[in-house]
Amino acid sequence: MAAKTAMMAQYQKIKDQYPDAFLFYRIGDFYELFNDDAVKGAQLLELTLTARNHNAEHPIPMCGVPHQSAQTYIDVLVDKGYKVALCEQLEDPKQAQGMVKRAVVQVITPGTQLERNSKTAKNNNYLTGLTSDGQHFGLGALDLSTGELQVCQLTATFEVLNEVANLNSKEIVVDETVPKELLTQLKQMGVMISYADKEADPIPVETSTLQTELLRQAVQVLLAYVAATQKRSLSHIQPAVQYQPSAYLKIDHNSQANLELMHNIRTGKKSGTLLGVVDDTKTAMGGRKLKQWLERPLLQRKQIEVRQTLVQELLDHYYERNELREALVSVYDLERLAGRISLGGVNGRDLIQLQTSLTQIPKIKHVLNELEQAQFQKILQRLDDCHDVQTAIQVAIVAEPPISVTDGGLIKPGYSEKLDQYRDAMQHGRQWLAELEQQERAATGINNLKIKYNRVFGYFIEISKVNLTKVPTDRYERVQTLTNAERFTTPALKEKESLILEAQEKSRTLEYDLFTKLRDQIKLEIPRVQKLAGAVSELDVLQSFATISEQHQFARPQFNDQETLQINNGRHPVVEEVLGAQQYVPNDVVMGPETAILLITGPNMSGKSTYMRQLALIVILAQVGCFVPAETATLPIFDQVFTRIGAADDLISGKSTFMVEMKEANQAIQLATRHSLILFDELGRGTSTYDGVALAQAIIEYIHNHVHAKTLFSTHYHELTDLANHLPQLQNVHVGAVEKDDQLVFLHKILPGPADKSYGINVAKLAGLPSPLLQRAQVILNQLEQEQPGVAQAANQAPASDQQLPLFEIGDQQVNPAVQQVVQQLKQLDLMAKSPLFVMQQVHEWQQQLQKKDGD
């Protein structure tokens, strides 16, 4: 605009400081958006777009939202990946000299957004920070709502991408040391890239335990950004904790997705996942702790067995466990309550929730004292009931406080003598008003005369129009005319109104001051509350493990150092929950030290993928410290789990490609050790049959000869079953199926040896394909089986030299002209450019041609 108003000049100056954010500019009871923010915001938030200065040559686009409901609109924008800068009025407009002072008091971003409802209560929201020294990366992760701060050092780019994905981070803060290629990859993952504020003073946080300067720099990058965007006290941020992904069972993000540990692939929800089965936690912080444990199973046998022992103790003490569960139900989210206290967003109801939670701690301590395991004593030592905090809240705050902290009604009678005096004056004032109303009714003869109050006119006398003739004009002064009534005041009412309103205002101000002092007093005890929250969340997860193990008949697994894996009647916990225990068919997994690979064959939809996944889930549950879905289980400690799950079981809806398949296979082959677990489901099917068989066999041989990891490899290439004759550490197993009354029946049972055939046509029949088509397929199949040599057998016969092997061994025999013609056509045929159906038809024609020549 050629000439800006003072307000718009102020707006633009503030907006220029936050060009990448929607600026919510406070004007009275509304947040207004202007210019491009208004145009885009109106579209995203479905608001009516208006304009400021309608009659000007260039009207200013404008839209707004009430400040009381602004959070809903802010959440919508942040969920869509935008930032929002809140610009507040810093002084009372009535007392301002000139333009009201305004400033941004907070920037809300995807990584700094606090939890809003029960649906997100069990989820962490990590803001990550990243820096590099050229050889390594420092990565920090902060959940602003709980104050958890962790940091690790990584080497490779794919490790950074995997860790960001596992943390489910929506926003990452970087500095100039991070390579542009990595930033591009992060953006492709849908992560918002933000940049560290070099001028902001980072929040002081304990980092003395961090081992390298790179880790400390990662924390500084993260905290400088948080300080610049939040602009308030953040005393709840905990000391930085260093972790290393290699110290836990590694499960890359793709494997987590394939195994559906946290999210159902089809729906993205918790239902239908391992987390959904084992989560019987009673607190939000317990739910978050459970997810953290599932994402990072343990590697140290002693640590695992300590958890197992605690689960066993709770499992053996049913009544004590129930007492613990009942107490946990009344424990609110202590971690996020501590965060709200620190951030200044706490209200009276939050403090009552904190008090209620603290009253449950003595009950929890009593339960632990009844249990025998010494390990519970270590948790018991961390259960500080914070009795002083509980008492301070109990003495000060009413049992059912209002949501607002500025409208009064928060503080108990007797807490402040001065507040009681104000309240007494207000009470007497209300009594005086009631008496005045009766006196005026008697004096005027108006029985429906009422004394009322609003913020515009204060206290007034309201009289209906039919009674206006009875109004004493010498004492009554008209203040407002309505459709059906008129409002008046009197000198006595004005005088009393001043005293009452003064008492009300002073009472509200004093109550708020008393509340903030109490809040600041409790803020000093936040570290104690956070320590308590950590202990309670662990107890919650342990009782959840015990309860689930009892309900689903899980067994305590044993561990060994002999690379022996033996599971008796193992089950897939998610599938079993869907089908029911009566219908689910359990299976054994037996792999001694001398067995590295199980080659699994069997028809589609028979349960091969379920069998493979159930092993991975049993391993993960075991190393988390939970019991497992099996009668008995003896396991080695695995260091990594790799999965390459295909689309045949519809778990990834056909999204995989051959390139993705090969990349994931390569990652497993390159990174796996003899202590890893590899699950390959129908690897190699994304290319031609010969390529697929060749790659699958080569991968199996490489794992067998070089990696030695425990591997389950399912395949439809029956030629590969011959590998058992050449690879001593490979065993064939298959999923049983029988044909009954011309129908295929799946047994869902793993049996020794290879499958006798693939049953592909039988499965096609179950899918409802037309009978003529199936009959033709059977004819073609019979012809191919008669003519096609064993692929695996040919592959195992290494050529004597580097020369190409002849296709036909003819020797000195006279060559049939028909054979020569077929051979010539075969040499000229580009197999890779033809469809499988074309090739089968061509083979059929050649067969007819040769049979005709033989008949001649």
**CA neighbours closer than 13 Å in the CB half-sphere of residue 149:** 27
Tell me the backbone φ, ψ of residue 478, rounded to 5 degrees: -70, 135
Q: Are residues 228 and 161 in the same domain?
A: yes
CB 729 within 8 A of CB 596: yes
Per-residue tokens: 813 = 């025999």
Residue 115 in any domain: the answer is no
pLDDT at 807: 42
Helix axes 836-855, 817-828, angle to 10 degrees: 170
3-state DSSP helix/strand/coil % of the chain, to nearest 5: 45, 20, 35
Q: Please check whether residue 263 is in contact with residue 273, taking contact to mean a CB–CB distance below 8 angstroms.
A: yes
Strand order of the sheet with strand 565-570? Answer: 558-559, 632-635, 565-570, 587-591
68: which strand partners? none
Phi, psi of 7 (to 5 degrees): -65, -45
Non-local CB neighbours of 468 within 8 Å, separated by 6+ positions: 486
Closest CA to 608 of 738, 729, 739, 758: 758
Say whether 365 counts as a known binding-site residue.
no
- Is 170 labelled as part of a ligand binding site? no
- Within a domain: residue 717? yes
Strand intervals (E) in 312-457:
450-454
Nearest alpha-carbon partner for 68 in 404, 342, 343: 404
Whether 159 and 307 share a structural domain: no
Burial of 819 (0-12, 13-18, 19+ CB in 10 A): middle
The answer to whether 836 is annotated as binding is no
pLDDT digits (tens, 9 = 90+) for 582-626: 788 999 999 999 999 999 998 777 788 999 999 999 999 999 999
Residue 114: what pLDDT? Answer: 86
Ranges under pLDDT 70 in the chain: 1-3, 54-55, 116, 202, 646-657, 686, 688, 741-744, 757-764, 766-767, 774, 780, 784-785, 787-818, 830-840, 844, 851-856
d(CA 719, CA 796): 11
Q: With respect to residue 353, please indicate whether it lies within any of the assigned structural domains.
A: yes
Residue 305 sits in the same domain as residue 434: no
CATH number for the domain including 28? Answer: 3.40.1170.10
In a domain, 343, yes or no: yes
Q: Is 477 exposed, middle or buried (0-12, 13-18, 19+ CB in 10 A)?
A: middle
Token pair recorded at residue 146: 């709980």
Around Cβ 687, how many Cβ atoms within 10 Å? 15
Structural domain of residue 56, as residue ranges? 6-108
- Start-to-end C-alpha separation, the chain: 97
- Residue that finishes a domain, picked among 108, 142, 165: 108
Same domain membership, residue 695 and residue 563: yes
Q: What are phi and psi of 525, to 5 degrees?
A: -100, 10
**Sequence-ordered list of residues with C-beta below 8 angstroms from that of 546, at least 6 positions apart, any chain:** 311, 312, 314, 315, 321
Q: How far apart are CA 331 and CA 390, in angstroms?
A: 13
- Of 741, 766, 787, the residue at which a domain comes to its end is 787
What element of type H or E holds 55? none
Same domain, 547 and 562: no
Alpha-carbon span 657 to 687, nearest angstrom: 10
Residue 151 near residue 210 (C-beta atoms within 8 A): yes
The burial of 346, by beta-carbon neighbours within 10 Å (0-12 exposed, 13-18 middle, 19 or more buried), is given as buried
608 annotated to a ligand binding site = yes
Determine how β-strand 148-154 pairs with β-strand 137-143.
antiparallel
Q: What are phi and psi of 681, to 5 degrees?
A: -105, 105
Q: Is residue 802 part of a domain?
A: no
Same-domain pairing of 736 and 598: yes
Same domain, 611 and 716: yes
Q: Give how many domains the chain has, as a whole number.
A: 6
Structure confidence at residue 791 (pLDDT)? 43
**The predicted structure's pLDDT at residue 657:** 64
| Helix (H/G/I), strand (E/B), else coil: 192 | strand
pLDDT reported for residue 98: 80
User: In this structure, are 587 and 725 located in the same domain?
Assistant: yes
Does the CA dihedral 420-425-429-435 come out positive or negative? positive
Give me the CATH number covering residue 372: 1.10.1420.10
How distant, in Å, are the alpha carbons of 719, 728, 791, 800 from that of 722? 6, 12, 10, 21
Ligand-binding annotation for 604, yes or no, is yes
Q: Are 600 and 679 in contact, with CB atoms under 8 Å apart? A: no
Q: What is the pLDDT of residue 784?
A: 65
Q: Are residues 566 and 545 in the same domain?
A: no
Task: Measure the CA–CA gap between 144 and 82, rounded to whole angstroms.
Answer: 18
Dihedral sign for Cα 532, 538, 543, 544, please: positive
Burial (CB < 10 A; 0-12, 13-18, 19+), residue 654, is: exposed
Burial label for 662, CB within 10 Å (0-12, 13-18, 19+), is middle
Q: Crossing angle, helix 284-295 and helix 608-624, to 10 degrees?
A: 110
Cβ atoms of 710 and 742 closer than 8 Å: no
Tens-digit pLDDT profile for residues 715-774: 888 889 999 999 999 999 998 877 776 666 777 889 999 877 666 666 667 667 777 776
**CA gap 698, 700 in Å, rounded:** 5
The structure tokens 């967003």 sit at 345
Q: How far is CA 544 from CA 181, 283, 286, 536, in A?
A: 43, 11, 9, 12
**Cα separations in angstroms, 139 against 77, 207, 227, 563:** 27, 14, 18, 34
Tokens of 349: 């109801």
- End position of a domain, from candidates 205, 229, 246: 246
Sign of CA dihedral 274, 275, 276, 277: positive
Is 609 known to sit in a ligand binding site?
yes
Query: 82 and 195 share a domain?
Result: no
Query: Is 509 part of any domain?
Result: no
The annotation status of 603 as a binding-site residue, yes or no, is: yes
Q: Which residues of 755-792 are buried (b: 16+ CB within 10 A; e: fewer)?
A: beebbebbbebeeeeeeeeeeebeeeeeeeeeeeeebb
pLDDT at res. 499: 80
CATH number of the domain encompassing residue 670:
3.40.50.300
Residue 602 is labelled as binding a ligand: yes
Let me know if residue 114 belongs to a domain: no
- What is the torsional sign of CA 539, 541, 545, 551? positive
- 423 with 307, same domain: the answer is no
Pair (581, 681) in one structural domain: yes
Reading the block at residue 223, the tokens are 């905290």
Q: Which amino acid is at 554?
A: F
pLDDT reported for residue 624: 98
3-class secondary-structure state, position 632: strand
Does 405 map to a domain? no
For residue 741, the model assigns a pLDDT of: 66
What are the residue ranges of helices labelled H in 524-587? Answer: 526-551, 573-579
Give 498's contacts (C-beta < 8 A, 6+ positions apart): none
Q: Which of 664, 558, 553 is nearest to 158 (CA)?
A: 664
The secondary structure element, H or E, covering residue 559 is strand 558-559
Question: Long-range pairs for 55-62 at CB < 8 Å and ≥24 separation?
Answer: 56/1, 58/1, 60/1, 60/8, 60/34, 60/35, 61/34, 61/35, 61/36, 62/32, 62/33, 62/34, 62/38
Q: Which helix (H) or strand (E) holds 710?
A: strand 710-714
The rounded Cα 219 to chain-centroid distance in angstroms is 23
Within 10 angstroms of residue 667's Cβ, the number of other Cβ atoms is: 17
